Structures are given as structure tokens and as C-alpha cells.
Amino acid sequence: MFPELKEETRSLKVWKSQPLETINVALRNKRQKCFPLYFSFCFFFQLRRPLSQSLERLLITRFFCPADVALIYPQDPVLRMGSNLTASCWVHPDLGVHASSLFWTLNGQQVPSSLYRVLSPSNLSLTLVGLNASRQTSGDNLVCHNHKGHILAGSCLYVGMPPEKPVNLTCWSRNTKDLTCSWAPGGKGETNISTQYKLKYKLRWYGTEKECEDYRHARPYSCSITQDLHLFTPYEIWVVASNQLGRAASDVIILDILDVVTTDPPSGVSVSRVGQLEDQLSVRWEAPPALKDFLFQAKYQIRYRLEDSQDWKVMDDVGNQTSCRLAGLRPGTVYFVQVRCNPVGIYGSRKAGIWSEWSHPTAASTPHSERLMSGSCDSKSSGDSNSTLRRELKQFFGWVRKHAYGCSSMSMKLYDQWRVLMQKSHKTRNQVGKHRQCREEACPNTHTHTRFPRVTSCATQTNCKPFGRAGFVTDSIFVPGSPRG
């Protein structure tokens, strides 16, 4: 006999009757539908006298109620993980099949006969202890077979857990046109049985409870409210998770749509060179058009990376302007740049706002360095000859980079002029080294008679005077526009 099944949750039925009686009840319920078909058959053929009992049973069991040939009890049970199940396979006596010849399979695998018990010539029970979670939400297949392997009856087992409280409920509004919320299942997130999530909301001080209807199939655990939205009015929003083993509700969040507005990424993003400055790129973009009629103060962020790298560098100090200059870049290198927007303070909202998605990557390359493109006699000696100039410029150039780096509103003229001066100085020195005759003995590792170039006026032109083993000397380098000294 079946042990009484304890109530697992409120959604489960409590079976207190004996199995054979329950099966008889099931048969009786089914025959309430089957016998009218049989009597209709008798009336249609105008049978004058009742059929024999065996013929009547044959017609009912084989033609009008074929499902009564065999039954599994209970049908499609829903159980908690770790619980036990006792199922029974009942076959109609007219089949002439003894229960001892039957066997069970679970998901196509035969269950050991040690778990069977013959209750009667037409009833075979099976006891499963410590059930594991169902392999799929559609359930596990428990099937009763005859001795030839033919399927007599089947049932689905749903073994899982009740849902836990949903967490991480967040909402945002794209351009104030809708309100989309997403969440995550509580705990490990797996109930192993079909579980429904419903997003519910209401106006905080008035209004009735409503349920979101536009669930996003492309994004699990999210829903969008697209109709009857109210600005300047707070909402109460929560999520309810439920299945046949129980239900759970998330914490209620309270928000105003104007506090969670996000927008489309900035459009028209362009990246270009800054003249021939080898370490700079200029970035320009357009403000999101969807919010042009709203009163707000936009904030922007820029991020960029090298072509052969996945590491992004983010610049947070862009402010509300729609252009920016990137400095301190590598010469002759391709960069990918993206921009995003945060509509802060829409109609006086004090919330931080929500960042938009990043714009599509835009690529551009910095100019090649003249020093890298021109040849030199010896890399070590060339580096030594330039070390003094670099040392003299290091402090000043570092100060300029510190204050001009990024996208502040500070004028870049001083920085640009100094970069042009330095690049042309290197270009002139490279031309000097390019025209002189370089021999192995003319380029020793150390030069004791080397004089370094200095910046003076633009009175004369540059000349190159090669020397022998003693080293080399260059005339003054003249940069157009430099002050006379």
C-alpha cells in the first residue's frame, strides 16, 4: 500500500486514500466519460438487448476507454528534491498480464527490480528514495512496460525546489518613453522545474496593482512597461517568482522615472589627427537627439584602446562638451575610440543618472614619428646625442602633459607649439645625420667633442659639416617663428 504523502507545499494535494481505491476512483471518473460513448454506440446501432459482460468490457476498454488499459498513480507528481516517491502501475485484468511480469523505466533506463513490489496480480509498485532534481523542466519520464517491452502507461516526475526571493531588481527608462526592469533569480537560480516570474508595479500613493506584460525574450528576467507611464510620480515595483512548490517575492523598490533615465549612445562620433602631432587625436560627437527638448546637463565618458589590445582606458573628466583631445598616445598607432552619455539632472533630478551604451568603435591612427622613420648612424650614439635635449625638455613637457592631458577647457596652443618645435627639431637633426657620410670609424660609442643643437632665430639655414674620428658638429638649428636670442 502507498504511504500517506505529506503535504510538501500548499500547492500539492494530500493523498490519504489507499492506492487501489484511488485507482478505482480514477477509473470511475474516466468511465463517467466513457460510458456515454458506449451507450451512444448502443443507441446508434439500436441494440435491442444488452451485450454480454465480456463483450461490453471489451468494447469499453479497447475502443471507448483505451487509456484504462493501464494507469500509473500518481500522475505527473511534483516533488521537492530529496523526497521519496511510491508509484503504482495498474493494468486491466482483461489484458491477462500479471504484475510480476511488468517492469519500470526512468528516462529510458530500467529501474532495478529490487525496488518493485507486487501489490496484486494487476498492480506493481515502485519506490524511489532521495529523488534528484529533474534533468529538464519538462520532467523525468517514468514508464511502465509489459514483459515484451511495450509501453503500458507513463507519468512525468517533476522534482525541484521552490523559488527563492528574486534579487538585483534594477530599472531604467530609455528617453522617458518606457520603463524596463531586470532582476536575477535568488540563490543559485535553479529550481529545476518550470518557474514563472512576474513583474508587478503600482503608483506609490494611489492606483491599483498592475502586471508587466512585455517580457523581453531576448533578455531573460526582464520586462518593459510601455503604456500609461507617469512622470514626477514614484512607483513601487517588485517581482514575484512562483512554481508548483511555492512562491517568493522580491523587495519592493521605489523610484521616479526621471531618476533612472538613460539615452541612446552619442551619434556622429569622429576621430581625426591633430595636424602632424604624433601623440594626439581629436574626438568629436553629437549629443543624443532624443533628449533635445529636455532640461538636463549631460556628462560624457570616452574610452580608447590600441588596435591589438582589449584593455580600454577610460577618461572620466570629459564634462558636458562634445569634443575632446587625446594626448600622450603612441606615434603611428591605430586606436579605437568609444563615447557614452549620462543625462544628469533631468528636470532637476538629484540622482546620478544611468550611463548609455557605448557608441560603435571608431578607428583612427596617429602620425608616424619622424625620428622613427629617418635613419641614424648608430642607435646608441644617436640616443646619447639627444639625451641632453630630452633632459632639458622633460620637466617642462611633463608639466604641459599633466595640465593639458584629457579634455579640460584649457587652451592647447602652448602644448601644440612646443610639440611642433620638438618634432621639427628632431626632423632637422635627422636630416643632418642623413646627409653626412657615416663610416664605422666615424661613429664610436662615445663622442668627446659633440655639441648639441640649440634653438635660435631663423636668420640662416642649416648646414652639415662632417668630421673624422673626433666626432661631428652641427650648426644651429633654426625653427621658423622662434624668438631671436
The pLDDT tens digits for 107-139 are 989 999 999 999 999 999 999 999 888 888 788
Sequence-distant (6+) residues with CB within 8 A of 203 are 230, 233, 234, 235, 236
Fill in the DSSP letter of residue 149: -
In 3D space, the residue among 474, 476, 462, 478 whose CA is nearest the CA of residue 385 turns out to be 474
Query: How much of the chain, in percent, has pLDDT values that exceed 90?
Result: 30
CATH 2.60.40.10 fits 167-260, yes or no: yes
pLDDT confidence tier of residue 348, bands split at 50, 70 and 90 = low
The Cα–Cα gap between 482 and 453 comes to 14
The Cα–Cα gap between 396 and 407 comes to 20
pLDDT at 277: 86
- Does the pLDDT at position 282 exceed 90? yes
- Does the pLDDT at position 340 exceed 80? yes
CA distances from 65 to 35, 146, 214, 380 (A): 9, 19, 43, 99
Domain boundaries, the chain: 19-160, 167-260, 266-368, 375-478
| Residue type present at position 402 | K
Q: Which regions of 33-82 does DSSP assign to beta strands (E)?
A: 70-73, 78-80
8-35 tens-digit pLDDT? 333 333 333 333 333 333 434 444 444 4
User: How many C-beta neighbours within 10 Å does residue 133 have?
Assistant: 17
pLDDT at 26: 40
Give the mean pLDDT of 340-347.
Answer: 80
Sequence-distant (6+) residues with CB within 8 A of 477 are 425, 428, 429, 453, 454, 455, 456, 462
At which residue does the C-alpha cell 657615416 appear? 438
- Does the pLDDT at position 7 exceed 70? no
Give the mean pLDDT of 229-241.
Answer: 91
What is the architecture, at CATH level 2, of domain 19-160? Sandwich (2.60)
Fill in the DSSP letter of residue 141: E
pLDDT confidence tier of residue 363, bands split at 50, 70 and 90 = very high
Cis, peptide link before residue 265, omega less than 30° from 0: no
* Residues facing 167 on adjacent strands: 184
3-state SS class at 246: strand
At which residue does the C-alpha cell 660609442 appear? 445
When the pLDDT of each residue in the chain is averaged and rounded to a whole number, the result is 71
In 3D space, the residue among 305, 269, 265 whose CA is nearest the CA of residue 284 turns out to be 269
The mean-pLDDT minimum among 76-85, 331-340, 440-449, 466-475 falls in 466-475
The matching CATH number, chosen from 1.10.10.410, 2.60.40.10, 1.10.10.10, 3.40.50.880, for 266-368 is 2.60.40.10
Instruction: State whether the Cα torsion 457-459-463-468 is positive or negative.
Output: negative
439-470 tens-digit pLDDT? 444 444 444 443 333 333 333 333 333 333 33
**167-260 matches 19-160 in CATH topology:** yes
pTM of the entire structure? 0.57
